[in-house]
Chains A and B, each alone.
Chain A
Amino acid sequence: MSLIATEALTKTYGGRVTALSDLTVDVEPGVIGLVGANGAGKSTFIKILLGLLAPTSGSVRVFDLDPTVVPDKVRTRVGYMPEHDCLPPDVSAAEFVTHLGRISGLPRTAARERASEALRHVGLYEERYRQIGGYSTGMKQRVKLAQALVHDPDLLLLDEPTNGLDPAGRDAMLALIHRIGTEFGISVVVCSHLLGEVERICDSLVAIEGGRLLRADRISAMTTASDILAVEVSEGTDELSAELTKQDFTVTRDGRLLLVELSEEDAYDRILRAVADLDLPLHRLDQRRHRVAELFATREKADV
């Protein structure tokens, strides 16, 4: 059963602004990256998934339920982490998450217990009893994540979860999301404009551009190995290039890297021997993989 399935989903506001146009995707459970322009496309998509907006045309199903018909059922199983500030400054995290747990329909004791557990899983310990107003950005992001988890959803919608975090905080958040997607068994949709992050933790990707689907695929399909070997030596790049060309390798230079076409398996050994014979320091030897960023490099012009 697919997680999210849309068919020719279209949303226009007031007949002029087209936020989504003819979007057809079929998303499998797992960790999914949702990449695209800030503003119209992604946020509209999330609102439609939550049943807060009705599509202009086309259909959408979440867990095989139609959010325009049974929004409450869908929202019970979905946790949402908004991008923007949404926390009251004068309550503690423990109290706030408990309250939201009850709004999700949990009985009082269960709400308290699950709130406590959710805060523990996101890494908030004694600070949870202090008022949210005094929290750092990283802590606030964690509170937002905890409230999305408190009612045990089957799907998390995270909108720019690493926004405003420094590299260490970003690392911690990404690791947490990865854990949630793999260990906890909850599917996660991560909206991000940072492709490196998406490549790192997501299994599949949906790229929306100008409201239209650019590509929807598994990350592994977009990062297949190519037949090119990247070789980098910290000195003597020219000599190595000459030597390899002499040995009938096709060599292209890319900054510090030499890109060598891989035709047979023994190429590895021959290249290694060339490096050793020239007594060069080998810094990198790696079969090049395609990158998600290539998806965006093709088009050129202005309307970006």
Chain B
Amino acid sequence: MSTVDLNNVSRWYGNVVAVNDVSMTLGPGVTGLLGPNGAGKTTVLHMMAGFLSPSKGKVLLDGAATWRNPAVYSRLGLVNEREAVHGFLTGYEFVHLSAKMHKLPDPAAAARRALERVEMTDAQDRRLETYSKGMRQRIRVAAAMVHDPQVLLLDEPFNGMDPRQRMHMMSLLHALGDRGHTILFSSHILEEVEQVSGTVQVIVAGRLAASGDYREIRRLMTNRPHVFAVQSSDDRRLAVALIGEESVSGVEIDAAGMTVRASDYGSFTRALPRIALKEGIRLRKLLPSDESLESVFSYLLEA
């Protein structure tokens, strides 16, 4: 079990502040580092991997700084966004090479183990240039994991993958996370993050905007009414009854049904079943419309 800590970390390049006073703690499991392009995600990953020093603050792996600390590389694996791989090597050779570079005692065995974990044993003797994008990505993950690091960092790992390749990678990351590894992956595509991990670190223009489970983050935004889509056997009567409730700030009816804005989440969610039953209305659908990662994210961007 390993922990990665960022304590008040900033990183600037002249006048460009790439990362601004970010503090976070990563533990075992899968965390998504989420943010628009240019928000500083790659900079954060590179600082965690020890490639960049923070201009201010400390980046620690299990209490030890990652910068200028070669010992850290045995506990970390990094899969970069763009990496040239030598097409003429086979999958096995590429991972084996990585194992040798890590000076492992038995590189061959380590390579085979890593390939098994990413389910690439069948294709390991084919040349990399014959691989599909998803396969190439998995080989790079194997190479980054060949020394069995506790921490795995991935920069935009799902870039350009088709749905099936993405699902494979997602289940791989989940399996690793379940086994106690600390995994951080970055993405600017919400759909990807939503499906892989509930835990997110949202970074916007270099600042950490929110951390944690995105649904809980949504509930923390009390200044924004929660929006629900409702369908019932009698929308209009239900609307009349609901607007009488203090926890309801607005009701809208259109062809698709009813939209309810609730200023008090707790009260509303308890009141709705009672009211529907009292009025003798059958509730067929209640769907929170803005708890998706996309909505949470857009609210955070506006903060």
List chain A positions with a Cβ less than 8 A from chain B: 35-39, 137, 164, 166-168, 171, 193-197, 209, 233-234, 265, 268-269, 272-273, 275-276, 279-287, 293, 295-297, 299, 301-304
Interface hits, B164-210 → A, CB 8 Å: 164-168, 188-191
Bound-state CA distance A146–B293 (Å) is: 30
Partner among A167, A193, A285, A293 whose Cβ is within 8 Å of the Cβ of B294: A167
Residue contact A281 to B270, C-beta cutoff 8 Å: yes
**Residues of A close to B168: CB separation below 8 A:** 304
Given the contacts A39-B133, A304-B168, A234 and B269 also touching, CB distance less than 8 Å: yes
Q: A279-B270, A282-B273, A296-B164 given as contacts; is B288 within 8 A of A303 (CB)?
A: no
Interface residue? B244 (CB, 8 A): no
B163 touches A195 (CB 8 A): yes
Complex Cα distance, B282 from A36, in Å, reads: 42
Q: Which residue of B189, B269, B294 contacts A282 across the interface (Cβ within 8 Å)?
A: B269
The residue that B284 contacts in the complex, of A194, A209, A268, with Cβ under 8 A, is A268
In the assembled complex, which residues on chain A have CB atoms less than 8 Å from the CB atom of B277? 269, 272-273, 276
A-B contact pairs, 29 of them (CB 8 A): A36-B162, A37-B165, A38-B160, A39-B132, A39-B133, A137-B37, A167-B36, A167-B294, A167-B301, A168-B298, A194-B189, A234-B219, A268-B282, A275-B273, A276-B273, A276-B277, A281-B265, A281-B269, A282-B269, A284-B286, A284-B288, A285-B283, A285-B284, A285-B285, A296-B167, A297-B167, A299-B164, A302-B123, A304-B168
Cα(A190)–Cα(B289), bound, Å: 25
Q: Of A171, A195, A284, A301, which is within 8 A of B122 by CB?
A: A301
Whether the pair A166, B36 counts as a contact (CB closer than 8 A) is yes
Interface flags for B90-131 (1: CB within 8 Å of A; 0: not) read 000000000000000000000000000001111100000000
Contact: A193 with B163, CB < 8 Å? yes
Q: Which residues of A contact B239 (CB under 8 A)?
A: none
CA distance A299 to B301 in the complex (A): 38
Contact A304/B273 with A37-B162, A268-B283, A299-B164 known, Cβ cut-off 8 Å: no
Name the residue on B nearest A137 (C-beta).
B37
Q: Which residue of A is nearest B163, CB measured?
A: A296
Closest to A281 in B: B269
CB distance from B272 to the nearest CB of A (A): 6
List chain B residues, Cβ under 8 A from A275: 273
Question: Contacts A167-B297, A234-B269, A272-B273 given: A304-B164 contact, CB under 8 Å?
Answer: yes
Report how far A296 CA is from B134 CA in the complex, Å: 14
Please measure, in the bound complex, the distance between the C-alpha atom of A279 and the C-alpha atom of B301, giving whole angstroms: 35
Q: Residues of A contacting B166 with CB < 8 Å?
A: 193
For the complex, what is the distance from the CA of A59 to the CA of B162, rounded to whole Å? 27
| Chain A residues within 8 Å of B189, by CB | 194
Check if B76 is an interface residue, CB within 8 A of chain A: no
Q: Which A residues are in CB contact (< 8 Å) with B190?
A: 167
CB proximity of A295 to chain B, nearest CB, Å = 8
Task: Give how many B residues have a beta carbon under 8 Å from the other chain's beta carbons.
Answer: 45
B162 touches A35 (CB 8 A): yes
Residues of chain B lying within 8 A (CB to CB) of residue A302: 119-123, 135
Could you tell me if A282 and B163 are in contact, using CB atoms closer than 8 angstroms?
no
Which residues from A are CB-within-8-Å of B160? 38, 193
For A39, list chain B residues within 8 Å (CB): 132-133
12 more CB-based (< 8 A) A-B contacts, given A268-B283, A293-B167: A35-B162, A37-B132, A166-B36, A168-B301, A193-B160, A193-B163, A195-B163, A265-B282, A281-B266, A287-B285, A296-B163, A302-B121
- In the A-B complex, the 9 residue pairs with the smallest Cβ-Cβ separation, listed nearest first, are A281-B269, A276-B273, A166-B36, A296-B164, A285-B286, A196-B191, A296-B163, A302-B122, A37-B162
Residues of A within 8 A of B123 (CB): 302-303
- B233, closest chain A residue (CB): A268
A272 touches B162 (CB 8 A): no
CA distance A166 to B132 in the complex (A): 26
B276 within 8 A of A: yes
Q: Within the complex, which residue of B132, B163, B272, B298 is in contact with A167, where a contact is CB–CB below 8 Å?
A: B298
Question: Per-position contact with A for B33-48: 1 when CB-CB < 8 Å, else 0?
Answer: 0001100000000000
B284 to chain A, nearest CB (A): 6
Contact in complex: B162, A286 (CB < 8 Å): no
Report the bound CA distance from A196 to B161 in whole Å: 14
Contact A282 B284 (CB under 8 A): no
Does A272 lie within 8 Å of B120, measured CB to CB?
Answer: no
Give A167 to B162 CA distance when docked, in angstroms.
19
- Bound-state CA distance A188–B258 (Å) is 31
In the complex, A18 Cα to B82 Cα: how many Å? 27
Query: Which A residues lie within 8 Å of B86 (CB)?
Result: none
Complex: A169 Cα to B162 Cα, angstroms: 21
B64 within 8 A of A: no
**Hey, which chain B residues are within 8 Å of A293, CB to CB?**
163, 167
A38 to B219, CA, bound (A): 38
Q: Let me know if A209 and B133 touch, CB within 8 A.
A: no
Beyond A35-B162, A296-B163, A302-B119, is A284–B297 a contact (Cβ under 8 Å)? no
Q: Chain B residues with Cβ under 8 A from A196's Cβ?
A: 191
Chain A residues positioned under 8 Å from B164 (CB to CB):
209, 296, 299, 304
